[in-house]
Amino acid sequence: MMRFFCILLLSLSVFSSQADVSTSPKANMHETTETPSVVNDALIIQASKKLAASSLRKMPAQVKQFAEIEHPKVRYVLTQLMNGDLYYVKATKQIVTREKDTDGSYKIWHGISKAALPNVKRSALKKVKTNNAIRKSIRGLLAQLDLTSPDKGVRLAAMQELLSKPSDETVTLVKKLSLKEQDEDVLSLMNSVIYVQQLSSADAALQLEAAKALQNSLEPSVKNALEKTLAATDIKNIELRKALETAISKIEQKRSIFSIIENLFFGLSLGSVLLLAAIGLAITFGVMGVINMAHGEMIMLGAYTTYVIQQVFPQWIEYSLFMAIPAAFLVSGFVGILIERGVIRHLKGRPLETLLATFGISLILQQLVRSVFSPLNRQVAAPEWMSGSWQINPIFSLTYNRLYIIVFALMVFVALLLILKKSSLGLHVRAVAQNRDMARSLSIKSDWVDAATFGLGSGIAGIAGVVLSQLTNVGPNLGQAYIIDSFLVVVFGGVGNLWGTLVAAMTLGTVNKFLEPVTGSVLASIIVLVGLVLFIQKRPKGLFPQKGRAAD
Amino acid sequence: MSNKSGSILLDLKNKFNTLHWVVASLFIATFYVTFCNLVFAEGSIFHVSSYTVTLFGKYLCYAMLALAVDLVWGYCGILSLGHGAFFALGGYAMGMYLMRQIGDRGVYGNPELPDFMVFLNWDALPWYWAGSDSVAWMVVMVFVAPAILAFVFGMLAFRSRVSGVYLSIMTQAVTYALMLAFFRNEMGFGGNNGLTDFKEIVGFSLQSESTKLGLFIVTAIALAFAFFVCHFIVNSKMGRVVTAIRDAENRVRFVGYKPENYKVWIFVVSAMIAGVAGALYVPQVGIINPGEFSPLNSIEMVIWVAMGGRGSLYGAIIGAIVVSYAKTRFTAIMPEAWLYGLGGLFVLVTLLLPKGIAGMLPQLKSKFDEKFGKTNNVKTSTPVESK
């Protein structure tokens, strides 16, 4: 058993390190690129002095000149100017930013290097003049600056900004830049910008070409532009109209495909959560035939274990989940074994009584958690590598945490399947489940197997708790929300059938997510519940019933 | 209250049957409470306050609900974890009527629409509120609404021979779904807040002490009647078939009966009793909200019956009253400890007391008889009571 978990952990850690690599460049980009060159330092200081001294009339020209300097601080200075936060010292024409100090004088910082300078009186400072027209032109200049930024992310964002309102001036710039552009993503966006601009040209042939070229773009603003052009096009211009219409319908087709994929993804991620929550139950209920209403509380205990681990090792949040997974397995598994030995063992063959007793245990555990941790919800931090998303195209992205959860749920599923099918424990469990007396007479310790099975099922519920702690707040009622769902998944899939549980969980998750946009989330879960109840009428043994003959 | 009278009367068992002494003890208890409430002035040690009267009224509603659960669980082996739904449906039927009685005394003063609908900008009553201002319709709905749910569910479930734990979980799932549904404002039942701020019932102000007492008496009568009905059913020929289904469903089927029809029938009767309990409960507590549908409530009902002794009607009543009284006491003294207590009760009762209080009493009695011989039979009541 331990070996499987080692494999599990190993593979998880591989995942996390990959995630680290993929996210880190973005975060560091801004810092590393700001290495000012000595030559331009002098230029920018000179230009900044001109900027300070300039009259309002000459200002636009000065600003433009300033923006042309190749210096990493240009953007900063212009932003300050646009926001009206830029001042200069009257005596030296030195541009600064200021903040009122406690004694009434002003703290000032160098306008370019951001170095702190000695405090001055208010009268020594003057605001660098701006007006709305200048602010507007700065905005345009900033966009251009972004277009040439060495950071791909900044360039993409700037290009997207342009896409919604391209002007002739910017398009010429973009055309120029596109010759030098190396990155494919940025390049295709640049082409989109150029074609969007071309759509509004007077030449019908150019328009037609643009419409045809744009049908592969998924940017929302491209679609807007196409629709706008369609509305403005003369009815007689059939060819162009047709081209526009096909472009729009092609885009819409693609979008609907992606929205289906997105729903599918959400559905699968919900399904994996259900799978994790239900799979422990599939063992205790499905294989052992024990109704454990405290199963939800095993999940809750796992979630609280994660919380405790993060509290104990606040410096290791990044690795907390890897510690929490085995810890939660042990905690929940141990409590599960206690329950089995203390209560369930004595109620063998009385399922309804087992149901009641374990329900009582679930109440006690909930209250215990309330007394120990407070009834309030607890926030469990998400490690860095769990956040963020994988942007596949402009309208479609997958969040990492859901992606990992799907993978993790499947790994747990496979591990469990292997335990049951390949290990000796699994062999004993299946033997006891099939025929207890026969198993006993073959010297299998059925008591021990019961306890171990129950511990395994509960431990997996604990692992589900670790996962849930990443998706929702951790509170005493966490488990209750999942217990009914888990039972339904197990019953739907067919009791005693792990594959059935997998299919059922994924089906329920997906159906739920596809219903949600249409009906709203509450109604969706009601529909699913009622649908399931009806399904169980038709097939009381679930999707994949166990074959066999029995009558009482 | 009732459990004491129950055990005192235990040794009269030979002369009275259970029906007689349950009705008698109910009558005595009701008379006692009424008398003490009316005759003794406030401050007297014998005085029973209106608050206590309402509390007892609540317990009697619970007792009735426990009867309903016991009827299906104790006698037919259907462990329903969804009787809270029938209770709440009856309650909502009553709540709708009480809501309409508010008339233009609501915050918005709309004579036609309840406050929450005005708040949601609705301009007409939804179709299912039609007729809710008439008493007769309300009474009909109290019976019919739970009965329809029970019938539809029963037909579906029992026809396809869903039984045992599956059935329990399905009842719970349905209740849960109903809870979610009733939480929605669009349902037209007041959403999260439910129905409340009631003013009067059939012309009597709900704030007045005499109405409270009257409701208590009505509840006691209804409980006695429900007990009579259950007693009759259980002892009828049909009841025997039902008990036989509990013990060996397939054998009953092989003999030629149709178990599913009996099951549906007893399920519907039980749902109606639960609905009446809910209807009587609402005017006494003054509110009905979707919380009544919560699975925990439904399961608490089951523990009343388990505690009192399933398969014994008077046991259900005793269990409901004892557990509810303990809950009131515990939640007042140490609110946090109650869930430990309730949880512990579940575990201990199932492990140590599978037949409940009602199963314990005859055991104690026979032990006592053994010890002192049959001659002392007349004095048996004292030690039993002390337990």
Enumerate the domain spans of chain B: 2-386
Q: Is B248 on the interface with A (CB under 8 A)?
A: yes
What is the spatial distance between Cα B386 and Cα B384, in angstroms, rounded to a whole number? 5
Return the residue in A281, A339, A534, A536 with the most chain B beta carbons within 10 A, the one to mutate for interface testing: A536
Contact A537 B172 (CB under 8 A): no
Question: How many inter-chain contacts (A to B, CB under 8 Å) are there?
Answer: 116
Are A533 and B303 in contact (CB < 8 Å)? Answer: no
3-class DSSP state for residue A71? coil
**B252 contact A CB<8A:** no
Please give the full DSSP string across A502-531, using - where no structure is assigned: HHHHHHHHHHHHHHHHHH-HHHHHHHHHHH
Residue closest to B239 by CA, chosen among B75, B18, B22? B75
* Helix/strand/coil (H/E/C) assignment for every residue in B89-111: HHHHHHHHHHHHHHHHHCCCCCC
The distance in angstroms from the start CA to the end CA of chain B is 15
A70 phi, psi to nearest 5 deg: -90, 95
Spatial separation of the C-alpha atoms in residues A70 and A185, rounded to whole Å: 25
Partner residue facing A360 (CB), from B159, B250, B343? B343
Nearest chain B Cα to A492, which residue? Answer: B166
Q: Please check whether residue A332 is in contact with residue A462, taking contact to mean a CB–CB distance below 8 angstroms.
A: yes
- CB-CB contact of A498 with A287 (8 Å): no
End-to-end CA distance of chain A: 37
CB crowding A321-360: b at 16 or more within 10 Å, else e: bbbbbbbbbebbbebbbebbeebbeebeeebbbbbbbbbb
Residue of A nearest to B78 (CA): A352
Contact B298, B219 (CB under 8 A): no
Given an 8 Å threshold on Cβ–Cβ distance, is B79 in contact with A363?
Answer: no
Give the one of A355, A367, A525 whose C-beta lies nearest to B168's C-beta.
A355
Number of Cβ within 10 Å of residue A388's Cβ equals 16
Q: Where are the beta strands (DSSP E) in chain B?
A: 195-196, 200-201, 204-205, 287-288
Task: Give the integer Cα–Cα distance in Å for B385 and B8.
Answer: 7
Beta-carbon contacts of B167 under 8 Å, excluding residues fewer than 6 positions away, are B78, B79, B80, B157
Alpha-carbon distance of A181 to A173, in angstroms, equals 12
CA dihedral A530, A534, A536, A542 (to 10 degrees): -80
CB of B306 less than 8 A from some CB of A: yes
Instruction: Compute CA B265 distance to the chain's CA centroid, rounded to the nearest angstrom.
Output: 19
Give yes or no for A486 touching B (CB within 8 A): no
In eight-state DSSP terms, residue A94 is: E
The DSSP string of B246-286 is: HH-HHHHHHHT--HHHHHHHHHHHHHHHHHHHHHHHHHHHS
- From the CA of B118, how many Å to the nearest CA of chain A? 23
**Per-residue model confidence as pLDDT tens for chain B (387 residues):** 444 445 544 555 555 677 777 888 888 888 888 888 888 877 777 788 888 888 999 999 999 999 999 999 999 989 898 999 999 999 999 999 998 888 888 888 788 788 888 888 888 888 888 888 888 999 999 999 999 999 999 988 888 887 777 788 888 888 988 998 899 888 888 888 888 888 888 888 888 888 888 999 999 999 999 999 999 999 999 999 999 999 999 999 999 999 999 999 999 999 999 999 999 999 999 999 999 998 888 988 988 998 888 888 889 999 999 999 988 888 888 877 888 888 888 888 888 888 888 888 777 778 777 777 655 444 433 333 333
C-beta separation of A490 from A296 below 8 A? no
> Mean pLDDT for each 10-residue chunk of chain A (552 residues)?
44 40 38 50 76 76 77 77 81 80 79 78 79 79 73 73 70 74 75 76 74 74 76 73 81 86 89 91 80 90 93 86 93 94 87 85 91 86 82 78 91 92 90 86 90 92 92 86 84 82 91 85 81 78 68 44
B203 backbone φψ class: left, alpha, beta (φ>0; ψ -120 to 50)? left
Residue A16 to residues A207, A400, B123: CA-CA distances in angstroms?
48, 10, 56
Q: Please tell me which of the candidates B168, B346, B351 has its beta carbon nearest to residue A346.
A: B351
A289 phi and psi, to 5 degrees?
75, 20
Whether residues B347 and A360 touch (CB distance < 8 A) is answered with yes
A interface test, pick of B152, B156, B170 with most A CB neighbours within 10 Å = B170
In the structure encoding, which two tokens stand for residue B256, read together? 């030629």
In angstroms, the separation between the Cα of residue A269 and the nearest Cα of chain B is 22
CB A324 within 8 A of CB A309: yes
pLDDT at B7: 52
ipTM above 0.85, yes or no: no
Task: Please give the model's pTM, rounded to 2 decimal places.
Answer: 0.73
- Please name the member of B169, B176, B342 whose beta carbon is closest to the beta carbon of A363: B342
**A329, A510 in Cβ contact below 8 A?**
no
